[in-house]
Chains A and B, each alone.
Chain A
Amino acid sequence: MTGPTVTVMLAGVGGQGTILAADVLARTAVAAGLDVKLSEVHGMAQRGGSVDTVVRFGESVASPITDPGFADHLVAFEMIEAARQLPFVKPGGRLLVNSRVIDPLPVLIGDLEPPTGVEDVLVAEGAIFIDAEELACEAGSPKSANIVLLGALSTGLEFPLELWIEVIAGRVPQGTVEFNLRAFELGRDACGEGGACLV
């Protein structure tokens, strides 16, 4: 893959594994011989707040962060976060959304009403939905939902499958390799040609 820099944004909620997913993506791009920058924010965000990570790769990448209107792909681990980060996705960009809602605390405790119409907006914006937790359970652990989403993302990128497998196997905790690879495959099948989330 040469040419212009590709920008992928991963958005989710602290604890969902966005940072690991972003790291796997970035390492795959390095393994493919590309220049890569990855930007993440630790700290307060880890305690259940919104977490956005940006991975950019290409021949030569300057900025680790991006601006609204510039992301080629948004991988949202949660629907409200998908809607929140929507302005970052460039017109014509790919919007991949885990069909799960995690209500923020003000909603959980009843101080704010749950937002309405989020799914409709995402549908209108051309989102592709995937039930990552269900596929992750099928793969062997609900914790591998992040890798399911990575599998789904991989169908829109040009890295060879072997590269992904090698990087995932080297990066996820020992003892979880098998079900993470299975999770990757399930995500890939769901969003690949003829996959369930594209119909």
Chain B
Amino acid sequence: MVPMLLSGNEAVARGAWAAGALVGVGYPGTPSTQALEVFAQMDGVYAEWAPNEKVALEVAAGASMGGARSLVTMKHVGMNVAADPLFTLAYTGVGAGLVIFVADDPGMHSSQNEQDSRNWGPFARVPVLEPSDSSEALEFTRAGFDLSERFDIPVIVRSTTRISHSKGVVELTRDQARKPVGAYVKDIGKWVMMPAMARVRRASLDERVRQMASYAEESPLNRIELRDRSLGIVTSGVCYQYVREALPGASVFKMGLSFPLPAGALAEFERSVERLVVVEEADNYLESSLRALGLSPEPIGLPEAGELSPGLVARALGGDPPKTRDAVPGLPPRPPLMCPGCPHRGAYDALRKVKAIVMGDIGCYTLGALAPLSSMDSCVCMGASVGMAHGMRLAGQGSERPVVAVIGDSTFTHSGVTGLMDLAYNGSDALVCILDNRITAMTGHQQNPVSGMTLQGRPTTEVDLEALCRSVGVKRVRTVDPHDLAAAEKAVREEVASDALSVIIFRAPCALLIKEMDQPYAVDEDLCTACRLCIRLGCPAISKGEGGKAHIDVMLCVGCADCVQVCKFSAIELTGPACDIGGV
């Protein structure tokens, strides 16, 4: 078999496929997203994006109950949304195998917080598998389905950014055939969790956890590597790789099954080494679990937050700092930015003009918080903007500066619409702006209920956002093209002036989805007065050039013409393609 270079996410997809999974459901979120995108392309499977993670887990639970092995994918914060079904599914158990793939983001490369999903193990009493590279991502996902059926329990496969987004060499194994689904057999004692049945299933759950704990003692998912006995390291996930890199001679207890832990094997490992330490990032999950089991790992002072690296592990255990070149002082930071031609820019340009207090949300449009648009005041979790705008008004804010919520289309269908119902029901007079670019852009362009297309490329119905907003009780609903800056400003001015709840839908497709680029623009230096109005749009194609005059980088300009509309001196005009005019 040819060795393949696979990311952890790709390997999870192949592992699920190799296990014969029939159904995959998820909601995008970095660093988990490609797992479902790749699974969706495998032969003979069904895969869909759900509007949010709770629905995703519920769809998969139904499929599992109906007899199909099912995969659920999400990022760490998604598990908060899916936690409600998760806890009770531990009671009911599964039909066919149910694996939940959840990817954490220590260091917050692309997340609003750090969470350690291993904690769901003891919290919900479900097993947690932790692969340490792409090969294990495939093997553990595959094994997860067997464990799920053997112990009648949903299984979590937990990864982190450095597993999901790292590629490694994987030898593909033989795949299992997709089993036909048998007849459904009703069993209310197992599936109807009302108190009398739930109490019975709770006892069963405790018994299943005990069985899994004794399985953990022998499980091939855990591995003891005895080398030099003077140092024994308990570790898991990508931290195992850092340990191997930094201290190749040390003895290691590599946890592959992080819940339940093998108490006996761990105690024996402690006895067989002189010093016992734990190397882990995110929470001190293993260390506190070991202490609870009566073991005494020695504290080594690894950083509490953020990611580890081989160097950090080496230094915590006494290594010398390496020789490095000096850092160059005074470099400007390079924050991510809204793309040239991004339709979100027009909405923020209008909100900035009315000096709105903007309760923000999560997506590409969160970048509107940064200079020069500087038009967002909060970002907490998906859907929070709508409720927070209502709360801001309840606190009495809004008489001087209007209170506005800004939310993307995917975020709105994820969990914004419930907030909007609250505002309509309880008589709020806020303005909610839905930035509808027809796609889930931030995470790499996944389809969602407004896109008209499914994950597997089937055309489908589109949510009628205008009708949806009206149906929950919003009287003032209007739609504008954010690239028409005058119309956008007019709509915002009128709706913040109204004393009823209103929704403005800013609708234009994501600039990265437009294949046919318009001609780029250039600045006529004779006409430019260096007024900086175009620069204040924060378009990465426009910069302050000679004498403070604007300059447009033809390599970057996509010809959206937002800047043409703000220029009062008609100084911005069409030009030719980059290489022809030597514009690189």
A170: B residues at CB distance < 8 A: none
Asked if A105 and B335 sit within 8 Å, CB to CB, the answer is: yes
Within 8 A of A (CB), among B505-544: 532, 535-536, 538, 540, 542-544
Chain B CB within 8 A of A185 CB? no
Nearest CB in chain B: distance from A105 CB, A? 5
A61: B residues at CB distance < 8 A: 168
Contact with B along A143-161 (1 / 0, CB 8 A): 0000000000000000000
CA distance A48 to B311 in the complex (A): 28
Q: Which of A14, A64, A88 contacts B238 (CB 8 A)?
A: A64
Query: Assuming the A-B contacts A45-B336, A46-B336, A69-B324, are A35 and B372 also in contact, with contact meaning beta carbons closer than 8 angstroms in the complex?
Result: no
Chain A CB within 8 A of B80 CB? no
User: Across the two chains, which residue of chain A brings its CB closest to B548?
Assistant: A110
CA distance A115 to B444 in the complex (A): 32
CA distance A116 to B536 in the complex (A): 24
Nearest CB in chain A: distance from B576 CB, A? 13
Chain A CB within 8 A of B457 CB? no
Range class of the B interface residue count:
35 or more
Chain A CB within 8 A of B578 CB? yes
A46: B residues at CB distance < 8 A: 336, 444
CA distance A180 to B323 in the complex (A): 37
CA distance A121 to B543 in the complex (A): 25
Contact with A along B331-353 (1 / 0, CB 8 A): 11111111100000000000000
Query: Assuming the A-B contacts A47-B336, A111-B371, are A42 and B165 also in contact, with contact meaning beta carbons closer than 8 angstroms in the complex?
Result: yes
Asked if B244 and A62 sit within 8 Å, CB to CB, the answer is: yes
Asked if A121 and B165 sit within 8 Å, CB to CB, the answer is: no
Chain A CB within 8 A of B162 CB? yes
A123: B residues at CB distance < 8 A: none
B331: A residues at CB distance < 8 A: 80, 83-84, 115, 118
Asked if A104 and B332 sit within 8 Å, CB to CB, the answer is: yes
Q: Which of A90, A108, A115 contacts B544 (CB 8 A)?
A: A108
Chain A CB within 8 A of B196 CB? no
CA distance A60 to B194 in the complex (A): 54
Query: Assuming the A-B contacts A36-B168, A62-B244, A86-B325, are A108 and B542 also in contact, with contact meaning beta carbons closer than 8 angstroms in the complex?
Result: yes
CA distance A36 to B4 in the complex (A): 10
Chain B CB within 8 A of A112 CB? yes
User: Across the two chains, which residue of chain A brings its CB closest to B334?
Assistant: A104
Q: Which of A36, A86, A105, A137 contacts B169 (CB 8 A)?
A: A36
Among B31, B327, B370, B443, the one with the most A-chain Cβ atoms within 10 Å of its Cβ is B327
Asked if A86 and B334 sit within 8 Å, CB to CB, the answer is: no
A91: B residues at CB distance < 8 A: 323-325
Nearest CB in chain A: distance from B175 CB, A? 21
Nearest CB in chain B: distance from A38 CB, A? 4
Asked if A80 and B334 sit within 8 Å, CB to CB, the answer is: yes
B310: A residues at CB distance < 8 A: 62-63, 65-67
CA distance A27 to B584 in the complex (A): 30
CA distance A91 to B244 in the complex (A): 24
Asked if B443 and A125 sit within 8 Å, CB to CB, the answer is: no
CA distance A14 to B165 in the complex (A): 16
Q: Which of A43, A106, A114 contacts B110 (CB 8 A)?
A: A43
B325: A residues at CB distance < 8 A: 69, 86-87, 89, 91, 125
B5: A residues at CB distance < 8 A: 23, 26-27, 30, 36, 38
B442: A residues at CB distance < 8 A: 43-44
A40: B residues at CB distance < 8 A: 165-166
Nearest CB in chain B: distance from A62 CB, A? 4
B536: A residues at CB distance < 8 A: 109
Asked if A68 and B324 sit within 8 Å, CB to CB, the answer is: yes
User: Across the two chains, which residue of chain B brings its CB closest to A105?
Assistant: B337
Asked if A103 and B109 sit within 8 Å, CB to CB, the answer is: no
Nearest CB in chain A: distance from B82 CB, A? 20
Asked if B330 and A49 sit within 8 Å, CB to CB, the answer is: no
Asked if B578 and A142 sit within 8 Å, CB to CB, the answer is: yes
Asked if B162 and A39 sit within 8 Å, CB to CB, the answer is: yes
Nearest CB in chain B: distance from A50 CB, A? 5
Among B3, B332, B584, the one with the most A-chain Cβ atoms within 10 Å of its Cβ is B332
Give B residues with C-beta under 8 Å from A. 3, 5, 30-31, 109-110, 133, 161-162, 165-169, 238, 241-242, 244-245, 309-312, 322-328, 330-339, 364, 367, 370-372, 442-444, 532, 535-536, 538, 540, 542-544, 548, 555, 578-579, 584
Can you show 22 pairs from A to B with CB atoms below 8 A apart? A23-B167, A26-B167, A36-B169, A38-B168, A40-B166, A42-B110, A44-B442, A47-B364, A49-B337, A62-B242, A63-B245, A65-B310, A84-B331, A86-B328, A87-B325, A88-B324, A106-B332, A106-B335, A111-B371, A121-B328, A137-B579, A142-B584
